[in-house]
Chain A
Amino acid sequence: MQFAKPSVVKLLGLFAAAALFSGTSAWAQVDTLASIKQKGKMVVGVKADYKPFGFFDPSGKIVGFEIDMANEIAKKLGVSIEVIPVVAANRMEFVKQGRTDLMIATMSYKPDRAEVVAIPEPFYYASAAALFAKKNSGLKAWTDLKGKTVCGIQGAYYNRRTGDEFGAKLLTFKGSTEALAAFEAGNCVGMVFDSTFYAGLTGEAKWADYAIMLPLIDPEPWGMGLRKEDTKFAAFISDTLKEWHKTGFIIGLEKKWGITPSPYLVEQNAKFK
């Protein structure tokens, strides 16, 4: 679930635009690739609270799906790596200020975000709407939800489709904890939420009888972020992503971290093959 703050983002965009128009040559000539090679180190902003994409392992190191990708890029450049934990509120600012060279932090693509940082395509992942339910619930298609009660989170973009198109009765709560509690107590047949959210639940014993029952719908692509003016670095990342999609590297990572296969990755793999 993403709550964009358009005003803040727009403001940041204005600053970026002002900086560009003032003609400071430093902005125009930013070359991250060269500076990374010169430093011998790449600094990457990642999430540390989003299992399994980025989280602290028992030894206190940040590991995960996105950290593996960052490591792969560093390896390709032949430099060492430093990961900095970021949150949604500061991840773009860190890139803009140059505190991080690259950001891989579960950021979904939004046009207003692309005005602040460069988000090279193709995207590396896409979360989607998933339905979590008891394994014996007998649900086979989204239309099976007609007339049934489904728990969810207020403000999620796929709620409308679940309620309007598929005819489910929505029981939505402010946070995921309350929604899960209501679901666990049996107030609804299933729970609709971001597919990525479940990866963190599937390891828990009390959810052993539950699974993602229906095919994922409404994918929302995730992109890496880097400085807006740096076209050279953007091209490099773009090429790397194309290669990854071609070789199935990201699909391998998905398997490694136990993430539900995203239809987006399969699609991209077929596209670049």
Chain B
Amino acid sequence: MDSVSAWFKWLHQTSGIKLTIFYDRYDRSRFLEGLSTTLELSAIVIVLSLFFGAIVAWLYGTKYQWLSRFVGAYVQLFRNTPPLVQIYFFYFAIGPLLPKVGGAPLLGSMGWAIVALTLLETAFTAEIFRAGIEAVPKATIEAAKALGYSRAQIFRRVVFPLALRVTMPALNNNLVNLVKTTTLGYAIAVPELLYMSGQIWSEQVNVTEMMIVLLLTYIAIVGLVNQLMQWFEKRLYVPGFGQ
């Protein structure tokens, strides 16, 4: 580690390339904190949005019309307004209205980022799942019905597993998009990667270097997500279906 930091110090002295995250203790700790926050935020929102997305997709087909209308309105609202506006809205408009716990707000930056991004991504995931559900052949559902499955059982055991396989490519795209969208946390001071890097470049005035580092880091994170999804897709592979 010492030799690495020494090399980057030497690089700065000889070429002016200022990568402080490799030799400045404080900058390094900030960058790593940003990286872990981005990964944490992405993971939480991925899990939540998959879970709620499945529920919302299921509610689309409910026999209660008011419920399916409500769900439709929610999806339209979140798909058709700018994500940055949404996150600002939650943090600055809704945040101050909530009751306070011991003088501090109920939800901080991170909390609101999770709420806002989950609501946004759930709307997209639900649409993807719905498309997948519609792709499940009617005959399969009718066969399940004939076997005496209830509506919930059909969804859980027949429709959802098949729909999930159909939606894998679109879902993969969406998850990559989600990881990219976590950078919006920058606007409400979530200590994620872009925010922390912003602190570093505004103090060290090494904007160019940090931009390159950021881009490469996000390529690595997105690559990781892609790998995971491919592995998952292979595991879920059913011969003769979804390919």
Chain A interface residues (CB < 8 Å from chain B): 154-155, 157, 159-160, 163-164, 169-174, 178, 181-182, 184-187
Contacts and interface: CB of A to CB of B under 8 A. Distances in A.
A178 B88 CA distance: 10
Contacts of B198: 154
Given A181-B92, A186-B103, 17 more contacts: A157-B203, A159-B203, A160-B26, A160-B203, A163-B26, A164-B26, A170-B199, A171-B109, A171-B189, A172-B189, A173-B189, A178-B92, A182-B92, A182-B188, A185-B92, A187-B95, A187-B108
B105 interface: yes
Contacts of A173: 189
Closest 10 A-B residue pairs measured CB to CB?
A155-B202, A185-B96, A171-B189, A164-B26, A160-B203, A186-B105, A186-B104, A154-B202, A185-B95, A181-B92
Interface residues of B, number: 19
Contacts, number: 41
B140 to A, nearest CB: 51
B199 A154 contact: yes
A187 B105 contact: yes
Interface in B92-145: 92, 95-96, 100, 103-105, 108-109
Contacts of B103: 186
Most B C-beta atoms less than 10 A away, residue of A163, A172, A173, A187: A187
A185 B105 contact: yes
Contacts of B104: 186-187
Interface of B: 26, 91-92, 95-96, 100, 103-105, 108-109, 187-189, 191, 198-199, 202-203
Contacts of A172: 189, 199
A145 to B, nearest CB: 15
Contact of A155 (B92, B95, B191, B203): B203
A182 B198 CA distance: 19
A258 to B, nearest CB: 28
A186 B105 CA distance: 6
Contacts of B202: 154-155
Contacts of B203: 155, 157, 159-160
9 contacts: A163-B26, A171-B109, A171-B189, A174-B187, A181-B96, A182-B92, A185-B92, A185-B95, A186-B103
Nearest to A155: B202
Contacts of A164: 26
Contacts of A169: 191
A241 to B, nearest CB: 31
A155 B203 CA distance: 6
Nearest to B108: A187
Contacts of A184: 96
Given A163-B26, A164-B26, A187 B199 contact: no
Contacts of A186: 100, 103-105
Nearest to A1: B202
A1 to B, nearest CB: 10
Contacts of B95: 185, 187
Given A185-B95, A186-B103, A186-B104, A159 B199 contact: yes
